[in-house]
Amino acid sequence: MKITVAKNSGFCFGVKRAYDLACVNSKNCDELYIFGKLVHNDDVCRDLKRRGIKEIKSLGAAKNGTVIFTAHGIGPDAYEKAQSRGMRIIDTTCPKVMKAQRLAKNYAGKNYRVIVFGDKNHTEVKSILKWSENRAIVVGSLERAKKLRIDKRKKYRLISQTTQNVKEFENVKKYFAGKLPDFECFNTICDSTDNRQNEIRKLAKANDAVTVIGGRDSANSKRLYEIAKAINPKTYFIENARQLKKSWFGDIKKVAVSAGASTPKWVINEVISRIGKSQKG
Ligand code: SF4
């Protein structure tokens, strides 16, 4: 069986930077906390715990010490709270997320209607909303966009969660561009997401089966799975090698392996090795 591993798989620039900063600081900080999950991947979270980094859901749960803010970004209230508690902050917010936050802050501050194309429950989108002082509006799909009540006297600006589907974003943009007299769009979808999605489309067509590796709460991994599954029905979503089933590869000659931006290399390597062994014996 031929196994093709997507070139764009595993940690993206933003996640690698956040993970490396967490690891380096774990060696010289006594009280090191991480506010929320560094990434939506249980293997990575367990690894950080082993390094002595404590995951907290509220800053009130931390003794004074150092707190890591994750690549997904955080609202301004968290910076204020950490500072008022005398905590040192290691801010690993991805610069690309920061760009979306700044656009939301600037345009909402000038009384524009800011629309965020994204998942309203995702940490990144919540942070963008907070920077807009909760004035931005989130739409998760073209259907939702069509239901939005429009005020033609207002100026509208559209941005996106960095890990959204590029094609769906284009559809939403086209819809608003045809409806709103004063409209501008900023494509804040990350190149890394775009490249992964383009690559998996090609791989899903060229292979008999596809395996996507990612955490169950990882938005970008799920998106890869959905794209591949729509093209190739033999697409499987797993978190790690333990979830692979031998039966998936019985008559398969070519399989593609891709992984979300929060999947570590060691998990990808285990999956490749296990798939390689699945037709033996
Ligand atoms: S997917 Fe892109 S925006 Fe998100 S953390 Fe990675 S590099 Fe940054």
pLDDT (tens place) for every residue of the chain, 281 residues total: 999 999 999 999 999 999 999 999 999 888 999 999 998 888 899 999 999 999 999 999 888 899 999 999 999 999 999 999 999 999 999 999 999 999 999 999 999 999 999 999 999 999 999 999 999 999 999 999 999 999 989 999 999 999 888 889 999 999 999 999 999 999 999 988 889 999 999 999 999 999 999 998 888 899 999 999 999 999 999 999 999 999 999 889 999 999 999 999 999 999 999 999 886 65
Predicted local confidence at residue 121, as pLDDT: 93
Euclidean distance between CA atoms 221 and 214, whole angstroms: 5
Question: Which domain-ending residue is among 152, 185, 218?
Answer: 185
Query: Where is the domain boundary, 128, 155, 185?
Result: 185
What CATH number corresponds to the domain at position 54? 3.40.50.11270
Domain with 134 in it: what CATH number?
3.40.1010.20
Measured from CB, residues less than 6 Å from any atom of ligand 1 are 12-15, 71, 94, 96-97, 162-163, 190, 192-193, 261
Name the burial class of residue 63, with classes exposed (0-12), middle (13-18) and buried (19+) by CB atoms within 10 angstroms of its CB.
exposed
Which of 8, 9, 12, 102 is the pocket-test mutation for ligand 1 (most atoms within 8 Å of CB)?
Answer: 12
Work out which ligand 1 atom sits closest to the CA atom of 220: 1
Quote the pTM value: 0.86
Tell me, yes or no, whether 208 and 271 share the same domain: yes
Shared domain check, 103 and 83 = no
The range of the structural domain enclosing residue 56 comes to 13-93
* Count of the separate structural domains present in the chain: 3
Active site residue 124: yes
If asked whether residues 140 and 211 sit together in one domain, one would say: no
89, 137: one domain? no
Residues 197 and 269 in one domain: yes
Identify whether residues 164 and 100 lie together within a single domain: yes
Catalytic residue among 124, 133, 184, 239: 124
Q: 83 and 122: one domain?
A: no
Q: Which domain-ending residue is among 51, 75, 93? A: 93
Asked if 101 and 180 sit in the same domain, the reply is yes
CA–CA gap between residue 110 and residue 136 (Å, rounded): 12
Q: Please indicate, yes or no, whether residues 103 and 180 belong to a single structural domain of this protein.
A: yes
Residues 203 and 6: beta-carbon distance below 8 Å: yes
Cβ-in-10-Å burial (0-12, 13-18, 19+) of 56 comes to: middle
Amino acid at site 184: E
Nearest atom in ligand 1 to the alpha carbon of residue 96 is 3
Residues 28 and 44 grouped into a single domain? yes
Q: Do residue 62 and residue 73 come from a single domain?
A: yes
User: Which atom of ligand 1 is found nearest the CA of 162?
Assistant: 3
Same domain membership, residue 224 and residue 167: no
